[in-house]
Structure 1
Amino acid sequence: MTEEVDISDQLEDSVAGLIRSLRISKSRNYTEVNTEEYPLTDKVGFVTLPCGHQRSSDYIVAWFKYYLKQSETEFTCPAYQESQNKTCGRKLSYQDTCKLIPLTPKQREFLEENLAILAARRLCDFKPCPGCRSHVERQDQKNLCVRCTLCTANMKRTYYFCWQCQREWKGPHNNAVKCGNNGCGEKVVAPDPLVKCNPEFKQEKLRIEGEDIYPTKDKSPYRKRLALLINNVEFEYVSNRSGADKDEWSMERLLKALGYTVFTLTNLTAQGMTDAVQDFAKREEHVQSDSCFLVFMSHGTEKGICGISTEDRKEDIFSTDEIFKAFNTPNCAGLRDKPKIILIQACRGGEDGCVDVTDSIPVNGKRTEHREKDFCCLRSCTPDTVSYRNEKNGSHFIQDIVEIFNQHSHQDDVEELFRKVLKKFKEKHPDQMPCKDRTTLSKKFYLFPGL
């Protein structure tokens, strides 16, 4: 058979070359900004994009990371263009970003390595060896049996692996189109945990309760459901949120299965979150949508959701009022009379969620106004109490929401789903109790998954 080539060193050299071609300067320190070409604003942390829109620098970096996650090497300006009545969409490259923003070494390393990997994948056919994780280039495109030279040397025997199923090879080596491992060559599709809605159920619900149900658009290319997910994981002054990646992955999978395009932005300051919700509220796709989801995961205090720069002497706090303000009737015409579902995983204070039972009667002084309507917000805990997160499995709040939506959204409306979440917390998590906040739904909102 054809000798395969271990290209770990060559690939590293190639990637390094690509990285060098991407850089604006050779220094690993902050890039010097050309203020004549792309002038910064007077506001600390803000930048002026070539299109003229001003946004916080952490928001721009988060958008670039989002596009990298979609295997795109350029990102587009997310600001709303008032004159054209649509999102700006002006493209910016990594070089443009470096001219705009003094990237930290960690940000620079992340962006450059991911850009280089995307470029390398387009140039050569390589995969990591399942034995040693070194990169190996396949020489014979018709042979799935690949020899790793490093594993062969380390194990003192010839080591082959299957290019297709990424396991050690079983069976004949020459002209191999399939190895002997169980399931090799079969397309493995993970079972979808989301129970789909029966069309007859939807028709019956609409027949009986049609006027009391928010209208939903049928699944088609013309339906443009959007969701915004903000996940703050790495903080400058407080502990990082280990396990938050599990929540992000679970929530993304659920929302995509429900038919939403998910914009996931990570590690934002309070200003970055403000920019994000304001831009998202103005997106023109909302006109062709029937609803939206807004998910926030971060540290929190009684004052709001923490940005990544929170410290004792300089609070970086995003007020939840900003969410309702950005999506209310005057400011978000595209979602007028449509459900806006808000999920917030964040502490609201430092008190324990369980106390001795008292006979005091809670007083609800909230008043619904038409300026703010069609919202349903579920927060991970009650005021002044903490939210809990498992460093390996994620938070109870997000994981339980995902589980209950997967199992029951085919037949329950959103408020009933939230009631089931609260019931599970009462039974399984006595130290914490989620609560609905500022809910102004005037009808039932069914997701009708799959339809």
Structure 2
Amino acid sequence: MCLDAGDGSGTFSVRPTTAQFYHEHHKQSYRMASRPRGAALIVSNEVFVGEGLGHRPGGAADTGVLRALLSQLGYRVTSVCNSPAQELETRLRDFALSADHRRTDSCVVVLLSHGVEGAIYGVDGKLVQIHDIFQLFDNANCPNLQNKPKMFFIQACRGDRTDRGVDRLDGADAPGCEECDAGKERERTRRGKLPTQSDIICGYACLRGTAALRNTRQGSWYIQALVKVFTERAHNTHVADMLVQYSRRWKERRKESRDGERQQHREGEKERERHRER
């Protein structure tokens, strides 16, 4: 869903981790000593030929700011644009099988496209299942990434409902992510085998059944907020906790948007009333 409102991304600089923080926490964290830290793949679909799918202006802005963020975080970044479904699957498979993962400590995959619950569209209008993408990176199909964190970020609709929000009740913040064994390893079996899927964390732009919001000039709300949170907190905060912080920023952004809509409605009503009085 397009939405032409909101702040632009601007320029930014990721805060570095201090030596003291590293020494206090590195034993409880994944190893992140390789240079580069890992490989990152950004898949951005903007120009669609599939029936019923409009173009996604703003995707280039997301790609640019993500490339800058991931480069500052120490990743070697590759981006691909406007891939049909079969080509998208091939590029993801080739990335998963890259020998470079053997020499690095993590990987990042970002998917920017139209989507539905559980799948994203290629530019030809055919779907690629998210489960199949995860499977490419599991311990059976991607041994070079065993015991290494694999991070996925998905900017795509998961339905057609807009999350308009409701008055907030007091309670704990819900994480804006779906996590599978991130930040910890499952207990191994007696034979010493790994589970097929582990060490995967995935952040989504929206809840199940809802539409993801995107600014046609400045990029998506999700990527803007994600970059801001990672820029400010990556030096001392776990990825899962940063996704919770993204969820909090999303709630604040939605409240600001709703307040702005109400104000515009009130001003419109006042203007119509003045015209009637004339």
How far off is 1:358 after superposition? 11
- Residue 142 of structure 2 corresponds to which residue in structure 1? 332
Q: Return the offset for 1:302.
A: 2.4
Paired residues for 1:21-170 under 5 Å: none
Match of 2:231 in 1: 406
Deviation at 1:273, TM superposition (A): 1.4
The one-letter amino acid of 1:269's match is P
Q: Which has the higher contact order (CA 8 A, sep 6+)?
A: 2
Match of 1:75 in 2: none
The residue matched to 1:429 in structure 2 has which SS?
A: helix
Whichever of the two has the greater Rg, that structure is 1
> Is 2:30 the partner of 1:214?
yes
SS in 1 for 2:153: strand
The answer for unaligned runs of 5 or more in structure 2 is: 1-9, 187-194, 258-278
How do residues 3-402 of structure 1 correspond to structure 2 at under 5 angstroms? 193-206=13-26, 210=27, 212-218=28-34, 220=35, 223=36, 225-236=38-49, 237=51, 238-310=53-125, 316-354=126-164, 370-402=195-227
Report the CA distance between 1:202 and its aligned residue.
0.7
Amino acid at match of 1:278: R
- Give me the TM-score of the superposition, normalised by structure 1: 0.47
Kept in 1, the 8 Å contact 2:47–2:56? The answer is yes
- In the TM superposition, residue 198 of structure 1 has moved relative to its aligned partner by 1.2
- Equivalent-residue separation in structure 2 for 1:354 and 1:247 (angstroms): 23
CA deviation after TM superposition for structure 1 residue 392, in Å: 1.2
What does the per-residue CA deviation read over 1:117-153, in whole Å, with 9 as the maximum and x for residues that have no partner?
xxxxxxxxxxxxxxxxxxxxxxxxxxxxxxxxxxxxx
> Which amino acid is the alignment partner of residue 232 of structure 1?
N
Cα deviation for residue 197 of structure 1 reads 1.3
Runs of 4+ in 1 over 4 A off after TM superposition: 355-359, 366-369
Q: Offset at 1:354?
A: 2.9
CA distance, structure 2, for counterparts of residue 273 and residue 357 of structure 1 = 40
| Cα displacement string for residues 44-74 of structure 1 (whole angstroms, at most 9, x for unaligned residues) | xxxxxxxxxxxxxxxxxxxxxxxxxxxxxxx
Q: Where does residue 272 of structure 2 map in the other structure? A: none
Structure 2 residue matching 1:371: 3-state secondary structure: coil
Q: TM-score, normalised by structure 2?
A: 0.75
Secondary structure in 2 matching 1:228? strand
Go from structure 1 to structure 2 and tell me whether the alpha carbon gap of 1:229 and 1:191 turns closer, same or farther (over 3 Å shift): closer
Separation in 2 of the partners of 1:404 and 1:377?
Answer: 16
| Aligned-residue offset at 1:416 | 1.1
Identity %: 28
Which segments of 5 or more consecutive residues in structure 1 lack a partner in the other structure?
Answer: 1-189, 311-315, 433-451
Pairwise CA RMSD: 2.5
Partner letter of residue 302 of structure 1? E
Encode CA deviations 1:18-61: one digit per residue, 9 max, x unaligned.
xxxxxxxxxxxxxxxxxxxxxxxxxxxxxxxxxxxxxxxxxxxx
| Aligned 8 A contact 2:180 2:198 in 1 | no
**1:429: how far off?**
2.1
